[in-house]
């Protein structure tokens, strides 16, 4: 059928090849860097090695120390007037603080935000890809994508690489036809809808603070303040969170 050809689905190929429907994912030993902007997603994988443990085994040898940027506290909650998102701004690479002013909220469109926690590169890349898919959806279907659908897209991307050592803890927050939407998606393919989530290494501290101050009928200022306090307390106690608090309201 013409539709099957256009979408590029191959009925009998492995599950990981059907994530996007617009192309296939390949795991190769050397990527072809010159086919940019195509629908084929290629990732280089070390030959004969198990990807998730590969880097830790390299790090023991001869001064080699490959550290990726990591660590956070982020929180988001729904209330009557919308969704509040609050994040810290620290990125650590091993024990070294790579940066204290990272922006961990990615604006997918004016009504959809994604937060980033876990590995910075993973979150940045997959959420940018999600933004591209959401834009394509909007262009093809002439209405904005729902929060549930966007979070499902991200969840399926994660499932395609399950077990390979990605680290993504993201909250997709937005406003769609059903009102405020909040979903938590992580690298195992967990996708949960809820009223309040907090992710990252400081999440326990944030949960305590926000749970004790939460009321469904807060005003917007009170909600901003609650989100800010949650992150502030988490950064106070968690070594890997810090910097400034960035808050957004949908």
Partner 1 sequence: FVSEMLSAQGFGGPGKMKEYHYAGAVENRFSPYAFNGGTVLAVAGEDFAIVASDTRLSEGYSIHSRDSPKCYKLTDTTVIGCSGFHGDCLTLTKIIDARLKMYKHSNNKTMTSGAIAAMLSTILYSRRFFPYYVYNIIGGLDEEGKGAVYSFDPVGSYQRDTYKAGGSASAMLQPLLDNQIGFKNMEGVQHLPLTQEKAVQLVKDVFISAAERDVYTGDALRVCVITKDGINEQTIPLRKD
If one asks whether residue 33 binds partner 1 (CB under 8 A), the answer comes out as: yes
- Greatest Cα-to-Cα distance within the chain, rounded to the nearest angstrom: 58
Is the Cβ of residue 104 or residue 233 nearer to partner 1 in the bound state?
Answer: 104
List binders of partner 1 among 143-202 (CB under 8 A).
164-166
61 touches partner 1 (CB under 8 A): yes
23 interacts with partner 1 by CB under 8 A: no
Smaller CB separation from partner 1, 33 or 143? 33
DSSP string, 83-96: EEEEE---EEETTE
Among 3, 5, 12, 63, binds partner 1 (CB under 8 A): 63
| Active centre residues (catalytic) | 72
The only residue of 24, 72, 74, 119 in contact with partner 1, by rule CB under 8 A: 119
Question: Hey, what are 209's tokens?
Answer: 């603070």
Residue with tokens 């940018």: 128
- Give 8 or 51: the residue with its C-beta nearer to partner 1: 51
**How remote is the C-alpha of 79 from its chain's centroid?**
22
For partner 1, the binding residue among 6, 44, 220, 244 (CB under 8 A) is 44
- DSSP-derived secondary structure for 35-83: -TTSS-EEEE--TTS-HHHHHHHHTTSTT-----EE--EEEEEEETTEE
Residue 219 near partner 1 by CB under 8 A: no
Question: Min. distance of Cβ 61 from partner 1 in angstroms?
Answer: 5
Would you say 99 or 219 has its CB closer to partner 1?
Answer: 99
Sign of the Cα torsion 189, 131, 176, 138 reads negative
Query: Which residues contact residue 229 at a Cβ distance below 8 angstroms, ignoring those fewer than 6 apart?
Result: 209, 210, 213
Which residue lies nearer to partner 1 by CB, 163 or 194? 163
Q: How far is the CB of 74 from partner 1 (least distance, A)?
A: 16
Looking at the chain, list the stretches that DSSP marks H as alpha helix, in order from N- to C-terminal side.
Answer: 2-7, 51-58, 120-141, 147-160, 203-213, 220-237
Q: Are 154 and 172 in contact (CB under 8 A)?
A: yes
CB distance 205 to 238 below 8 Å = yes
Nearest distance, CB of residue 172 and partner 1, angstroms: 19
Considering the rule CB under 8 A, would residue 62 count as an interface residue with partner 1?
yes
Chain residues that interact with partner 1, rule: CB under 8 A: 27, 31, 33-34, 36, 42-46, 51, 54-55, 57-58, 60-69, 91, 93, 96, 98-99, 101-103, 119-122, 124-125, 164-166
């Amino acid at each position: 059928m013409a539709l099957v050809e256009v979408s590029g689905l191959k009925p009998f190929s492995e599950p990981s090849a059907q994530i996007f429907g617009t192309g296939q994912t390949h795991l190769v030993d050397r990527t072809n860097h010159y086919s940019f902007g195509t629908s084929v997603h290629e990732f280089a994988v070390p030959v004969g090695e198990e990807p998730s443990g590969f880097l830790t085994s390299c790090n023991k040898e001869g001064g080699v120390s490959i550290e990726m940027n990591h660590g956070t506290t982020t929180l988001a909650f729904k209330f009557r007037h919308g969704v509040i998102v609050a994040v810290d701004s620290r990125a650590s690479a091993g024990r070294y603080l790579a940066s204290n002013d990272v922006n961990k909220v990615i604006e997918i469109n004016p009504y959809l935000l994604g937060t980033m926690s876990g590995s910075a590169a993973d979150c940045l890349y997959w959420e940018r890809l999600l933004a591209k898919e959401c834009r394509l959806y909007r262009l093809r279907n002439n209405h904005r994508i729902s929060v549930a659908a966007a979070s499902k897209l991200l969840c399926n991307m994660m499932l395609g690489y399950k077990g390979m050592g990605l680290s993504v803890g993201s909250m997709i927050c937005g406003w769609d036809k059903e009102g405020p939407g909040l979903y938590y998606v992580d690298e195992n393919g967990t996708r949960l809808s809820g009223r309040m989530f907090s992710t990252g290494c400081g999440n326990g501290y944030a949960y305590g603070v926000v749970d004790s101050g939460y009321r469904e009928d807060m005003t917007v200022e009170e909600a901003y303040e609650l989100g800010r306090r949650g992150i502030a307390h988490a950064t106070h106690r968690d070594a890997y969170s810090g910097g400034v608090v960035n808050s957004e309201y949908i």
